[in-house]
Amino acid sequence: MDAATSSHVLPHVKVSSSNLCNLNRKSSLCTRSKFFTTASSHSNEGERNLDSHSRERSLLSWSSSSDDRSSSTLGGELYNPILKRNSAEKMICSAGVCTFPGSASGSASHVMEERIGVLLLNLGGPETLHDVQPFLFNLFADPDIIRLPRLFRFLQRPLAQLISVLRAPKSKEGYAAIGGGSPLRKITDDQANALKMALEVKEVHANVYVAMRYWRPFTEEAVQQARFTFTLIKRDRITRLVVLPLYPQYSISTTGSSVRVLESIFRKDASLSRLPYSIIQSWYQREGYTKSMANLIEKELQSFSNPNEVMIFFSAHGVPVSYVEDAGDPYRDQMEECIYLIMQELKSRQINNDYTLAYQSRVGPVQWLKPYTDEVLVELGRKGVKSLLAVPVSFVSEHIETLEEIDMEYKELALESGIESWGRVPALGCTSSFITDLADAVIEALPSTKAMLTSTSFSEAVDFDPAGYAIKMFFGSILAFVLLLSPKVILAFRNYML
Ligand SMILES: C=CC1=C(C)c2cc3[nH]c(cc4nc(cc5[nH]c(cc1n2)c(C)c5CCC(=O)O)C(CCC(=O)O)=C4C)c(C)c3C=C
Ligand SMILES: [Fe+2]
């Protein structure tokens, strides 16, 4: 994982948890009455089995009960949005410092200080052409990208080396065509800053961090790079973390992979394993996202001479079919639901265009999700479709697959196939309605943060590896025995030699 950071130290504000709520609402945040998110505090809930029923779907609502009025140690008037998860569980924020019942420091007798962190997870991309092959190596060395049977896992890295070397020339061409590198890091950093600002507007002061899965400017190993981010999270003494993958839909190959690495780091680190955190597994179903996408589509349709006749062409990054059919990846289901929700939103605005969904960017010899974007474009041209609006839907930043694959390759193919008018919806990037909604998602996820482990002893117990312990004990005993006897052994040896 790569780590770019945008760290702003939280104000040191202490609030007594017995002096909590003075609900003087100043923000639009508090006008919402109902919404839901898909936040989970356990990755294993999310990693392999994330159909819409098994995911934790929590209905949250804002409360403005006057019972919660009080003053804080800061004095003066406070703004305290209270987030209710259920009647027993409340998050209370004051001047950016939030209190949560059930947290170790949250008992009424404690004066506590919460430092909120948000960790954005993204894929990362090579920043120069020189980075392309090592970036591809990191990608293909990921067992969630090339899924080898356990028995053949030892081949993962040699295979990654081979494939990355073979793929690099084609990838380099693509990156060269978009200016010599991926724009992903800059866009993600901008999104991190925008999210921080959006949270500030809602009076939630948070540090926002970025962790990339496969690249950053330094050529370190993924896990070491991630450790860099976590060092910052520890340095900033974050007490509550919301993990927000920048993928609207969950896939084993994206969110699943990043979360797997993140949790393995947490598991091995005593202080991180006690940090309450919550993972927003997917957020394609949020109104803020679907409305923002619909806004972009509506706007772009206006650039056609006959907006009603334009085919809306959703193009999603594909995954191998085996992910969905064998490993239970919810990606396809979520993608279809996502398109449905966006279209519902458009229909509510009397936009009833034809639409279709296809999958792009397949790599390698296996079957990927169908239909394939290139084949559908040719088919649509053959059927007489004249105007087409491409909508990239699996990612919220511009990247090689929008800037090169869609804007260049697919556009050319479409025009060759008989499509006369071509348009493309930009990626959401820092669109304010979208970022504001991500801020809401973060706030909604705060009450469900939960530490991996809760006590030192338990942490030590989980770190305990019986096989390793037995080996260490065995060799340790031999060493101790030798050391104990060594003067005698040396003496005996000397006697023998002399
Ligand atoms: C939802 C988004 C993505 C899914 C799902 C996904 C799966 C996936 N990708 C590959 C192989 C490659 N991906 C590459 C680049 C790339 N992939 C995504 C997103 C998803 N990938 C993004 C945003 C990017 C671009 C980053 C950038 O630099 O701009 C590449 C490298 C580019 C290329 O050579 O085409 C490869 C290779 C697999 C195998 C996979 C699922 C198993
Ligand atoms: Fe990809």
How confident is the model over 198-222, as pLDDT tens digits? 999 999 999 999 989 998 744 334 4
Q: 401 CA to middle of ligand 2, Å?
A: 8
pLDDT of residue 112: 59
Closest Cα to atom 1 of ligand 1: 394
The ligand with the least distance to the CA atom of 249 is 1
**The two structure tokens encoding residue 288:** 């803020």
Q: What are the φ and ψ backbone dihedral angles of 167, each rounded to 5 degrees?
A: -80, -25
pLDDT of residue 469: 56
ipTM above 0.90, yes or no: yes
Dist. CA 282–CA 158, nearest whole Å: 33
Sign of CA dihedral 441, 96, 119, 113: negative
Tokens 């900033």 locate to 236
**Percentage of the chain with pLDDT > 90?**
58
Closest Cα to atom 41 of ligand 1: 319
Tokens 């993928």 locate to 247
Bond preceding residue 330 cis, omega within 30 of 0: no
Q: What number does the ligand 1 atom closest to the CA of 178 have?
A: 29
Q: 199 CA to middle of ligand 1, Å?
A: 30
CA atoms within 13 A on the CB side of 293: 28
By most ligand atoms within 8 Å of CB, the mutation choice from 133, 173, 317 for ligand 1 is 317
Dist. CA 93–CA 114, nearest whole Å: 9
Q: 204 CA to middle of ligand 1, Å?
A: 33
Q: What number does the ligand 1 atom closest to the CA of 323 have?
A: 42
By most ligand atoms within 8 Å of CB, the mutation choice from 122, 139, 186 for ligand 1 is 139
pLDDT of residue 336: 98
Average pLDDT, stretch 186-191? 96
By most ligand atoms within 8 Å of CB, the mutation choice from 335, 363, 408 for ligand 1 is 363
Q: 164 CA to middle of ligand 2, Å?
A: 13
Closest Cα to atom 38 of ligand 1: 145
Dist. CA 145–CA 177, nearest whole Å: 25
Dist. CA 232–CA 241, nearest whole Å: 12
Dist. CA 10–CA 216, nearest whole Å: 26
What 3-state DSSP class applies to 424?
strand
pLDDT of residue 266: 87
Of the listed ranges 33-42, 58-67, 287-296, 488-497, the one predicted with least confidence? 58-67
Sign of CA dihedral 196, 197, 200, 202: negative
What 3-state DSSP class applies to 498?
coil
Closest Cα to atom 27 of ligand 1: 125
The Cα-based distances of 18 to 55, 86, 98, 304 in angstroms read 34, 20, 13, 59
Q: How does residue 466 score in pLDDT terms, banded at 50, 70 and 90?
A: low
Give the DSSP letter string of 31-83: G---EEE-EES-HHHHHS---TTTS--EEEEEE--GGG----TT-S--B--EE
Q: 297 CA to middle of ligand 1, Å?
A: 24
| Residue ranges with strand state E in 303-426 | 311-317, 355-360, 387-392, 421-424
**The two structure tokens encoding residue 72:** 């804080």
The Cα-based distances of 329 to 44, 230, 253, 333, 429 in angstroms read 13, 28, 9, 9, 26
Closest Cα to atom 33 of ligand 1: 171
pLDDT of residue 443: 98
* Pocket-forming residues, ligand 1, beta carbon under 6 Å: 123, 125, 136, 139, 145, 167, 171, 174, 182, 184, 247, 251, 253-254, 317, 319-320, 361, 363, 394-395, 399-401
Using the predicted structure, report yes or no on whether residue 18 has a pLDDT greater than 50. Answer: no
Tokens 């780091």 locate to 265
Q: What are the φ and ψ backbone dihedral angles of 386, each rounded to 5 degrees?
A: -105, -30
Tens digits of per-residue pLDDT, 359-416? 999 998 899 999 999 999 999 999 999 999 999 999 999 999 999 999 999 999 999 9
Of the listed ranges 18-27, 90-99, 302-311, 434-443, the one predicted with least confidence? 18-27
Would you say the pTM of this structure is higher than 0.80? no
Q: 447 CA to middle of ligand 1, Å?
A: 33
Q: 118 CA to middle of ligand 1, Å?
A: 24
Q: What are the φ and ψ backbone dihedral angles of 120, each rounded to 5 degrees?
A: -85, 130
By most ligand atoms within 8 Å of CB, the mutation choice from 400, 406, 409, 410 for ligand 1 is 400
Dist. CA 385–CA 414, nearest whole Å: 10
The Cα-based distances of 1 to 42, 239, 254, 419 in angstroms read 20, 21, 12, 41
CA atoms within 13 A on the CB side of 232: 22
Tens digits of per-residue pLDDT, 35-82? 223 455 544 333 333 333 333 222 111 122 222 322 222 222 222 233
HEC sequence for 229-266: HHHHHHHCCCCEEEEEECCCCCCHHHHHHHHHHHHHHH
In 3D space, the residue among 361, 381, 379, 359 whose CA is nearest the CA of residue 370 turns out to be: 359
Q: 8 CA to middle of ligand 2, Å?
A: 31
HEC sequence for 438-477: HHHHHHHHHHHCECCCCCHHHHHHHHCCHHHHHHHHHHHH
Q: What number does the ligand 1 atom closest to the CA of 394 have?
A: 1
pLDDT of residue 486: 54
Dist. CA 136–CA 140, nearest whole Å: 6
Using the predicted structure, report yes or no on whether residue 457 has a pLDDT greater than 80. Answer: no
Find the radius of gyration of the CA atoms of the chain.
Answer: 26
Q: What number does the ligand 1 atom closest to the CA of 249 have?
A: 1
Q: 391 CA to middle of ligand 1, Å?
A: 17
The ligand with the least distance to the CA atom of 139 is 1
Residue 234, C-beta contacts closer than 8 angstroms, at least 6 positions apart = 271, 272
Dist. CA 494–CA 401, nearest whole Å: 74
Q: What number does the ligand 1 atom closest to the CA of 361 have?
A: 35
Using the predicted structure, report yes or no on whether residue 11 has a pLDDT greater than 70. Answer: no
Q: How does residue 12 score in pLDDT terms, banded at 50, 70 and 90?
A: very low
Q: 190 CA to middle of ligand 1, Å?
A: 21
Name the burial class of residue 377, with classes exposed (0-12), middle (13-18) and buried (19+) by CB atoms within 10 angstroms of its CB: buried
Element (H, E) at 126: none
Q: 360 CA to middle of ligand 2, Å?
A: 10
**229 CA to centre of own chain:** 14
Average pLDDT, the chain: 76
pLDDT of residue 232: 80
Using the predicted structure, report yes or no on whether residue 229 has a pLDDT greater than 70. Answer: yes
Of the listed ranges 83-97, 107-121, 258-272, the one predicted with least confidence? 83-97
Q: What number does the ligand 1 atom closest to the CA of 171 have?
A: 34
Q: What number does the ligand 1 atom closest to the CA of 319 have?
A: 41
pLDDT of residue 173: 97
Using the predicted structure, report yes or no on whether residue 442 has a pLDDT greater than 60. Answer: yes
Q: What are the φ and ψ backbone dihedral angles of 327, each rounded to 5 degrees?
A: -95, -5
Average pLDDT, stretch 444-467? 68
C-alpha distance across the termini of the chain, in Å: 61
In 3D space, the residue among 380, 356, 382, 360 whose CA is nearest the CA of residue 369 turns out to be: 360
Q: 229 CA to middle of ligand 2, Å?
A: 23
What 3-state DSSP class applies to 386?
coil
Average pLDDT, stretch 27-33? 26
